[in-house]
Amino acid sequence: MYKKGILLFILIILIGTAGASSEADWIADRNTQGSWGNIRETAYSILALDKEQGYENLVLNGSRSLIISLENCMLTNSCNVKDTAVAVLALHEVGNNANIVNTAGTWLLNSRSIVFTGELPTASNQWFVQVVSSVAGSCVLTNYDLDSSLGVSIDTSQGYVPWFNVDSGILTSTTSSLNLDCSSLGSTPVLSLINKKDVSGVENYFIKQEEHGKKNITVSFGDPCWGATYRSGSCDTETTGYVLYTLNKIGKSGDPSWLVGQSNLGLKEKAFLFKVTNDNQYLTSLAQEKNSAGFWGTADLTTTVLIYNLLKPNSIISGVDNWVASRRHNDGCWPKPNCNVEQTALVMYGGSYTSSSSGCPDLDGDNTCDSDDSDIDGDGLLNGIDNNSRNPDTNNNGVLDGDDDYDRDGFVNKEDSDIDGDGVDNEDDRDPWDETVGITTRNDPSGDSDASSLGNICTTAEGCEGKRDAIGQCIDVSGDGCPVSDTSSRGEVDLGGTGTTGTSTSGSSDEGRSVLFWSLMVLLMLIILFGGGFLAYKKGLLKLKFGNKPGPQAKYTPRLNQSKPQNYQPRVASTPRKKPGIVSSIEKDLDQSMKDLERLLGKK
What mean pLDDT do residues 410-424 have? 85
Higher-scoring residue by pLDDT: 533, 215 = 215
- What pLDDT sits at residue 427? 73
Percent of the chain with pLDDT over 70: 71
The full 3-state SS of 425-464, as one line of letters, equals CHHHECCCCCCCCCCECCCCCCCCCCHHHCCCEEECCCCC
- What pLDDT sits at residue 17? 43
- What pLDDT sits at residue 547? 47
Amino acid at position 116, single letter: F
What mean pLDDT do residues 39-43 have? 96
Boundaries of every domain in the chain = 118-221
Considering the chain, what is the average pLDDT of its residues?
Answer: 78
Does the pLDDT value for residue 560 go beyond 50?
no
pLDDT tens readout for residues 495-518: 333 444 343 444 444 555 566 677
Distance between CA atoms of residues 529 and 42, nearest Å: 48
- What pLDDT sits at residue 121? 80
Higher-scoring residue by pLDDT: 106, 464 = 106
- What pLDDT sits at residue 87? 97
User: pLDDT confidence of 7, banded at 50, 70, 90?
Assistant: very low
- What pLDDT sits at residue 453? 54
pTM above 0.75, yes or no: no
Higher-scoring residue by pLDDT: 231, 495 = 231
What mean pLDDT do residues 29-43 have? 93
Hey, which residues does 125 pair with through a beta bridge? 122, 197
- What pLDDT sits at residue 455? 66
User: pLDDT confidence of 522, banded at 50, 70, 90?
Assistant: confident
Q: Terminal CA-to-CA distance of the chain, rounded, Å? A: 128
Quick one: which of 206, 171, 168, 211 has its CA closest to 189? 211
pLDDT tens readout for residues 74-125: 999 999 999 999 999 999 999 989 999 999 999 999 898 888 777 778 888 8
